[in-house]
């Protein structure tokens, strides 16, 4: 594990822009852009797309995602969005009347709405956990909330508002002990926070590719535990059926699905124009190394947190939060219109709940930190005036 030098040259970010908003949407690298250009151009020459490409392209995506999250590639399905993965989970997990589905307060809506629907359909209840004021963390809150009446725990690896970390090894073990299913939204952690699904053993785990997987919008991957791989897919498409490779025999309709988790693939899962972008992004991440990325970004957010502290901003400590994710809060609240005012100075961050959300990546350097701190200092002075 090593710290990675700044990779700004691998991206096409203008020098006058300080982009600290990877949790909103990552830029794709120059390499991924080149792969995308070739892919779009490929559609002008459809005669060059072979039947084998329909399968090899998504299979390469599965393989890379599996490597990134520590899972088997046979268990990976191609999906268009995190919400689609959640829909597959909700369609298959048993929930009895009166049971509970546990979620975290202020969790991303794609990991809330399917559970509200499922609970309403089955006469179950969504239990939205809040944090007590005694300094307990989400892991403690989850561990004390999971009981034999818990049907499903649906959680991220780190909270999207401030990066608060959930210990998924402990939560996974607690779910198994209570016979509860575990569903993970890894959209804010896959590709940047080391994750080993073979240890955590969730039932379903999904990530959209357009954030820390440094891929395109409109694509994601879903890992499905072996025990659900004979489950019911959200849709019935030709590509996920057994023998789909033989195009001449597609109308010899098949009741059997392709093996593994392929039955959960979305229609048109080959995604000729955007899958190559996702592949290039994930190859680059694996080349850098997920642990090294995390270590590098941890140092970066610590540097920012230390400077922001002098301006009266607080944050969780590393360990309580994921290293790549910094939520800054301030007594008395944030300066008004902070996001827009910073954007006017070419500094890009988000506000989520009470936190300014700072999510750098390897393209950021000390110049960006100085520019962010200068802009923030100006806004704090203006607010205090």
Ligand X SMILES: Cc1ncc(COP(=O)(O)O)c(C=O)c1O
The answer to whether the beta carbons of residues 357 and 23 sit under 8 Å apart is yes
**Residues 6+ away with beta carbon under 8 Å from 100:** 124, 125, 126, 127, 147, 149, 150, 151
- Closest to 278 in 3D by CA, of 101, 117, 64: 64
The answer to the question of residue 197 lying near ligand X (CB under 6 A) is no
Query: What is the Cα 275 distance to its own chain's centre?
Result: 17
Helix (H, G, I), strand (E, B) or coil at 280: helix
State the minimum distance, in angstroms, from the CB of residue 9 to ligand X: 27
The answer to the question of residue 187 lying near ligand X (CB under 6 A) is yes
**Residues 6+ away with beta carbon under 8 Å from 325:** 23, 158, 162, 163, 188, 301, 357, 358, 359
The answer to the question of residue 214 lying near ligand X (CB under 6 A) is no
Cα–Cα distance between 44 and 24 in angstroms, integer?
Answer: 32
Cα–Cα distance between 336 and 308 in angstroms, integer?
Answer: 17
**HEC string of 69-100?**
HCCCHHHEEEECCHHHHHHHHHHHCCCCCCCE
Nearer CB in complex with ligand X: 188/296:
188
Interface pick for ligand X out of 99, 155, 161, 188 (rule CB under 6 A): 188
Specify the residue for token string 């996001």: 339
The answer to the question of residue 110 lying near ligand X (CB under 6 A) is yes
State the minimum distance, in angstroms, from the CB of residue 79 to ligand X: 9
State the minimum distance, in angstroms, from the CB of residue 120 to ligand X: 20
| Residues near ligand X (CB under 6 A), total | 12
Which alpha helices (DSSP H) does 21-167 contain, by range? Answer: 30-42, 53-69, 82-92, 113-122, 138-145
State the minimum distance, in angstroms, from the CB of residue 220 to ligand X: 6
Specify the residue for token string 């110049």: 367
Nearer CB in complex with ligand X: 9/268:
268
Cα–Cα distance between 383 and 377 in angstroms, integer?
Answer: 10
Nearer CB in complex with ligand X: 87/261:
87
State the minimum distance, in angstroms, from the CB of residue 192 to ligand X: 13
State the minimum distance, in angstroms, from the CB of residue 209 to ligand X: 9
The answer to the question of residue 221 lying near ligand X (CB under 6 A) is no
Contact range with ligand X by CB under 6 A, out of 180-188, 250-258, 280-288, 337-345: 180-188
The answer to the question of residue 100 lying near ligand X (CB under 6 A) is no
The answer to the question of residue 156 lying near ligand X (CB under 6 A) is yes
Angle between helices 275-288 and 290-309 (to 10 degrees): 80
The answer to the question of residue 108 lying near ligand X (CB under 6 A) is yes
Nearer CB in complex with ligand X: 93/207:
207
Nearer CB in complex with ligand X: 164/369:
164
The separation between the first and the last C-alpha atoms of the chain, rounded to the nearest angstrom, is 46
Nearer CB in complex with ligand X: 70/218:
218
Helix (H, G, I), strand (E, B) or coil at 112: coil
Interface pick for ligand X out of 208, 304, 308, 373 (rule CB under 6 A): 208
Interface pick for ligand X out of 11, 19, 160, 228 (rule CB under 6 A): 160
State the minimum distance, in angstroms, from the CB of residue 306 to ligand X: 26
Structure-block tokens of residue 165 = 């970390």
Structure-block tokens of residue 266 = 């979305």
State the minimum distance, in angstroms, from the CB of residue 203 to ligand X: 17
Nearer CB in complex with ligand X: 108/372:
108
The answer to the question of residue 228 lying near ligand X (CB under 6 A) is no
Binders of ligand X among 55-94, rule CB under 6 A? Answer: 81-83
Which parts of this chain interact with ligand X (CB under 6 A)? Answer: 81-83, 108, 110, 156, 160, 185, 187-188, 208, 220
């Amino acid at each position: 594990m090593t710290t990675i030098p700044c990779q700004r040259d691998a991206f096409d970010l203008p020098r006058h822009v300080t982009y600290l908003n990877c949790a909103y949407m990552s830029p794709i690298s120059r390499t991924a852009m080149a792969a995308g250009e070739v892919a779009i151009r490929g559609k002008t020459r459809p005669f060059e797309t072979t039947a084998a490409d329909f399968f090899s392209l998504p299979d390469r995506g599965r393989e890379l995602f599996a490597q990134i999250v520590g899972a088997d590639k046979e268990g990976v399905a191609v999906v268009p969005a995190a919400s689609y993965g959640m829909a597959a989970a909700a369609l298959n997990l048993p929930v009895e009347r009166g049971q509970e589905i546990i979620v975290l307060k202020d969790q991303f809506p794609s990991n809330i709405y399917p559970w509200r629907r499922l609970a309403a359909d089955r006469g179950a209840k969504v239990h939205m956990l809040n944090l007590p004021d005694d300094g307990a963390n989400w892991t403690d809150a989850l561990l004390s909330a999971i009981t034999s009446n818990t049907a499903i725990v649906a959680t991220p690896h780190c909270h999207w508002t401030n990066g608060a970390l959930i210990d998924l090894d402990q939560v996974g073990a607690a779910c198994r002990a209570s016979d509860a299913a575990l569903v993970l939204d890894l959209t804010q952690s896959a590709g940047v926070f080391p994750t080993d699904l073979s240890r955590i053993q969730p039932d379903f785990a999904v990530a959209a590719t357009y954030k820390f997987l440094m891929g395109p919008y409109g694509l994601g991957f879903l890992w499905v535990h072996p025990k659900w791989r004979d489950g019911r897919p959200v849709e019935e498409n030709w590509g996920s059926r057994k023998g789909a490779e033989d195009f001449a025999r597609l109308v010899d309709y098949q009741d059997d699905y392709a093996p593994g988790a392929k039955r959960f693939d979305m229609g048109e899962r080959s995604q000729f124009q955007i899958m190559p972008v996702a592949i290039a992004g994930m190859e680059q991440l694996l080349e850098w190394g997920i642990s090294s990325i995390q270590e590098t970004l941890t140092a970066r957010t610590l540097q920012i947190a230390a400077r922001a502290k002098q301006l009266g901003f607080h944050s969780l400590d590393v360990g309580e939060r994921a290293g790549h994710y910094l939520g800054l809060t301030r007594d008395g609240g944030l300066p008004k219109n902070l996001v827009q005012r910073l954007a006017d100075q070419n500094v890009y961050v988000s506000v989520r709940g009470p936190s300014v959300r700072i999510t750098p990546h390897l393209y950021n350097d000390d110049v960006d930190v100085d520019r962010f701190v200068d802009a923030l200092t100006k806004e704090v002075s203006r607010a205090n005036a």
